Amino acid sequence: MKREPIFWKILFILPLFLFSSLAVFGQTSEIKGTVTDAATGETLIGVSVSEKGTTNGTMTDLDGQYSIKVPSGATLIFTYVGYVTQERPATGGTINVALSLTQQMLDEVVVIGYGVQKKSVVTAAISSVKSSDIEKLTPSRIENVLKGQVSGVQVTQGSGQPGSGSTVRIRGIGTTGNSDPLYIVDGMAVDGGITNLNPSDIASVEILKDGASAAVYGSRAANGVVLITTKTGVAGKPKISYDMSYGFQNPWKKKAVLNSEQYMVLVNELYLNNGEALLYSSKDIADARAGLTPNTDWQEEVFNKDAPVQNHQISISGGNDKISYYLSFGYFDQEGIIGGNYNASNYKRWSVRSNNTYEVYNAEKERSFLNKLKIGSNVTYSRGKKIGIGTNDVFGTVLGSATTLPPNLSVYLSEDDGKALLEKHPYAVKAKDGRVLNPAPAYFQEIRNPIGLMLRPDKSFDNEDKFIGTFWGELNLYKGLTFKSSYGFDLAFWGNDGYRFPYYLSDNSAASNEDPAKSEVWSSMNRGATWQIENTLNYNFKIGEDHSFTILAGQSAREYSVRAVSGSGYEHISYDPSMMVIDATRGDATKGGRRSGGSASSTTLASYFGRLDYNFAERYMLQATVRRDGSDKFGSNNKWGTFPSFSVGWNVLNEPFMKDITPEWFHNMKLRGSWGVNGNQRIDAYAYMSLMDGGQNYYFGENMYYGISSGRLPNPDLKWEESKQTDIGLDLGFLRNSLTLTVDYYKKRTVGMLREKPTPSYVGLRAPLANSGTMDNSGWEFDVSYRGEIQDVNFGVKANASYMKNTLVDYGNASGENSWGGVGAAGVENFIYQKNGMPSPYFYGYRTDGILQTQEEADEYNFKYGENAKPGDVRFKNLNGDDKIDDEDRDMIGKPNPDWTFGLTLNAEWKGFDFYAFFQGVTGNKIFDISKRSDIPRQNLPSWMLDRWTGPGTSNKIPRLVAGEDNRNWRASDLYIKNGAYCRLKNIQLGYTIPAAITRKASIDRLRIYVAAENLLTFTKYDGFDPEIGDGDMGVDKGIYPQARTITLGASISF
């Protein structure tokens, strides 16, 4: 692929020239000064200094100093987040200001459902990630912002493929159904995930983890809630920022496999053990050793080295005491490390955001009622385009083929062999330079030349356009009483287009794609629309000096509707991707040569909710919440559900008797307790009804008639899943909260899980959805942070760890179990299990007890259990004590979900330099590595097969090399189980901010440059491509697309 780095250099430098001539003219006097913290005397960086009533303003530099030109008689406003705003008349040439922390900053403010709350009085389990952390993480997706940043949240990236999704689990898997959390973006509940959001637009992310904090969202909050708040403008002059990064991605690891000589030796051994003639002669092996035969490193051929990834963000923000605005434009482009250079694995995203707030009028000084009105809007649009390759599948993916094909097979045919193949197979796949790809032999089944898989004319393109917005108004009705009304929308348009033209890549005729009649074009288009109307009343008042109350009452209504159409056509008239339309096919619709389909559905939700917050002198706190939801997803007997919660807190050090005995270094001690009920309604619309299924066509005589029938049995008693959760927490603060520690213990039980209820086969209809089954989660969470300084160095350390235990109490069927995951072609039965009393899910299989070393051992084993094993075969354990090895001897051999997840963040600043490092990892989990196929005898093998059994005493772990043995050595057992624990240096960054005295000469307020690395180091015992296996694959590695190691250069410029 042709790359033009000069273009990006120009794009980086251009803004400097565009804005270097900006200057401020017409001011009559210059005011200078320094802004400090009133308590510590430390200078404050980034304080907004503005002329009142105008957009003229500036910010303090790294030394806390500022300079601004204003007319005589002007008033300066000094504003800094968390500090009390000051106004000063602009008299004299120097004005030094000492800002005091607001009480809210002393206790920190966190976003909660439908409001904000001081952290000192929060009684629920809520974790936060701020924009300062997000900026250093440089994530491509907002979900990855949460990875390892806070306790109780596990984020697993599906794969390293560009645009791949991530799985978020808050306090574990809570159900056998959908365990995704609820996402709220600026007050709007978002359907279909948050892939569209630009992480650079995010101001903060709050995670509501316990039942009490999430109860205000009722029937949708059983799996936790993620509140996302986007950036807004601040008072002062317009601020123009440009952030860019350009990186180079590379694989961080290759899988160790055999070279040509080793491969030939082991294949001969396999043939010998099977009683067949040797495949390779001594000369063949000697030629391989001498380098006279191909020794293809398929992984080296497949990986796209230095694959580019770039991110650009331009934002304009500002405002005054009446208006604030934030406008941003973002562009992200990532090329995959597998297939990106063949336009087979790529992702692009464009985004626009506009956030505005307007104060329509303010009459607070004139009257106490109807005295203030604010309106605002938060709107974003994004477009994403993605093309991907198959991943984590044993059946013919690019990476699976690269580790399976033998090294003595060349990538390309010789010129003569290529011409001969094209004469026989005119659709043989060719490279851009005309070379013909070497087809895979027929005995490799679905495995293909991986370069050919990326070049073949078989492409599928995903696209998505999404609009999310909220329009709101807020009116002060009376002192402390506020009414807020909002209208939100979520419009999504997504689809898939693709084509498959004739091509030839294998001698295996069972999977031939040469027939022109099988050429295909397809297209699908989907449209989803959500509207949401919410109205809330919020009343803050005090009785006396110590009794503080906040009362919230609200109503919410929303509707989601979706429509989908799709079509396909066969026998394309031209093999030109630009003619990728169904009308360019000539397939006979009456014979299935053209097909079309469509669907439509809608769901509605009506809600009423209320919350009472009370605190006595910030010493004793109480919060009670109730929400009542009505949904048309559920049966007529259970349309409505009620979800209550309460929480209490005690700030121990605020007790009068503690003041005289509390050391000065002991700043905070708060005990918390909460209980709440949340629901889960993530099922399809009309699931309680017996909908009619079309396509039940039948013939009467010679004519076909269209038929319909009931699809499934109805269930009018269907209702929400319910999760009841108890949480006990402790918050500690030392050294003026420079050192903080938070500990939580929780226990969560989900009852009435939504799943299909098994019915006898003679019923003839699909099983009805029912509330059936119970699951328990419990665990501990720890968060600790410290910030301090040593002379000129400011530094911080933040760490978190979570322990989670999951138990499926009752699966909800007669047997109390469920299984899946088998690979029949490889002789591996179902090995992923759910069973009463066990973790959900877990790996299920045979336990091994070493290798049978001698014929005597084999005879004894065979006589005892009726087997037909030979020396070198696996000895399987007999767990139930009978006289045979069978399914009853299978047991739990591991689980995919970790016991512990953890994260560690280090940061430091010194004289303009800044350093950031972030580690994250998991432990206590296993990986089922089935990337080695056992049904393809002549496949290449992982290098650990060199340690196989070849005679008595040679190995007690890996069996002899043989195909089709009676002992089934490679049945599902702990031979596939590997340690999935890892610790990864996820992000590391070193930056430097050029002194303002230099940049301001070019009218630049701030210029920071940095170098960063992602996935720089990974510490793991796992020998596969990547120990992070996405939740959707349940810890099963079939050839995962690995995450890339990325080195990035970037810059942030503000004007």
pLDDT band, residue 105 (cuts 50/70/90): very low
155-202 per-position pLDDT tens digit: 888 889 998 888 899 999 988 888 899 999 999 999 877 878 888 899
Assigned token pair, 684? 């399809």
**Residues linked to residue 379 through DSSP beta bridges, in sequence order:** 354, 469
Average pLDDT on 370-382 reads 95
pLDDT band, residue 762 (cuts 50/70/90): low
CA angle 527, 343, 411 (to 5 degrees): 140
pLDDT band, residue 394 (cuts 50/70/90): confident
Residue 377 has pLDDT above 90, yes or no: yes
Q: What are phi and psi of 283, to 5 degrees?
A: -65, -40
148-157 per-position pLDDT tens digit: 889 999 988 8
**CA torsion, points 418, 422, 424, 425, in degrees to nearest 10?**
120
What pLDDT does 25 receive? 37
Determine contact, residues 849/973, Cβ cutoff 8 Å: no
Give the whole-angstrom CA distance, residue 939 versus residue 440.
11
What pLDDT does 22 receive? 32
What pLDDT does 106 receive? 44
256-307 per-position pLDDT tens digit: 999 999 999 999 999 999 999 999 999 999 999 999 999 999 999 999 999 9
Determine contact, residues 505/448, Cβ cutoff 8 Å: yes
**Nearest alpha-carbon partner for 987 in 960, 962, 1015:** 1015
- What separation in angstroms does the CA of 1021 have from each of 110, 399, 913, 923? 39, 21, 35, 11
pLDDT band, residue 764 (cuts 50/70/90): low
- What separation in angstroms does the CA of 924 have from each of 462, 560, 779, 824, 900? 36, 40, 14, 29, 6
What pLDDT does 20 receive? 35
- Neighbouring CB atoms inside 10 A of 348's CB total 16
Treating both helix axes as pointing N-terminal to C-terminal, what angle do 260-273 and 282-289 enclose, rounded to 10 degrees? 160
Assigned token pair, 63? 């030394």
What pLDDT does 82 receive? 60
- What separation in angstroms does the CA of 756 have from each of 682, 712, 812? 13, 10, 10
For 400, the enclosing helix (H) or strand (E) is helix 398-404
What CATH topology corresponds to 5-101?
Immunoglobulin-like (2.60.40)
713-728 per-position pLDDT tens digit: 888 889 989 999 999 9
What pLDDT does 763 receive? 63
Q: Is 517 helix (H, G, I), strand (E, B) or coil?
A: helix
pLDDT band, residue 899 (cuts 50/70/90): very high
- What separation in angstroms does the CA of 900 have from each of 733, 780, 921, 1035? 25, 10, 8, 15
0.85 cut: is pTM over it?
yes
**Residues linked to residue 94 through DSSP beta bridges, in sequence order:** 32
**What is the percent of the chain where pLDDT is above 70?**
94
Give the whole-angstrom CA distance, residue 939 versus residue 823.
17
Determine contact, residues 70/52, Cβ cutoff 8 Å: no
Beta strands in 320-410 (DSSP E): 323-335, 346-362, 372-387
Residue 135 has pLDDT above 80, yes or no: no
- Burial letters for 447-463: b for 16+ Cβ neighbours within 10 Å, e otherwise? bbbbbbbbbbbbbbbbe
- Neighbouring CB atoms inside 10 A of 667's CB total 18
665-716 per-position pLDDT tens digit: 898 999 999 999 999 988 888 888 877 776 667 777 777 777 777 777 888 8
Mean predicted lDDT score pLDDT of the chain: 89
In the chain, CATH 2.60.40.1120 sits at: 5-101
Residue 45 has pLDDT above 60, yes or no: yes
What pLDDT does 14 receive? 39
**What is the percent of the chain where pLDDT is above 90?**
63
Would you give the DSSP letter of residue 579?
G
Assigned token pair, 299? 């992984």
Q: What are phi and psi of 511, to 5 degrees?
A: -125, 35
CA angle 590, 593, 599 (to 5 degrees): 85
User: Which has the minimum average pLDDT: 49-58, 668-677, 842-851?
Assistant: 49-58
pLDDT band, residue 336 (cuts 50/70/90): very high
Give the whole-angstrom CA distance, residue 413 versus residue 527.
47
- Burial letters for 629-652: b for 16+ Cβ neighbours within 10 Å, e otherwise? bbbebbbeebeebebbbbbbbbbe
- What separation in angstroms does the CA of 773 have from each of 327, 355, 714? 48, 44, 19
**Nearest alpha-carbon partner for 495 in 393, 661, 383, 638:** 383
What pLDDT does 574 receive? 86
Give the whole-angstrom CA distance, residue 42 versus residue 652.
30
Average pLDDT on 934-963 reads 94
pLDDT band, residue 208 (cuts 50/70/90): very high
The length of the chain in residues reads 1055
Q: Is 288 helix (H, G, I), strand (E, B) or coil?
A: helix
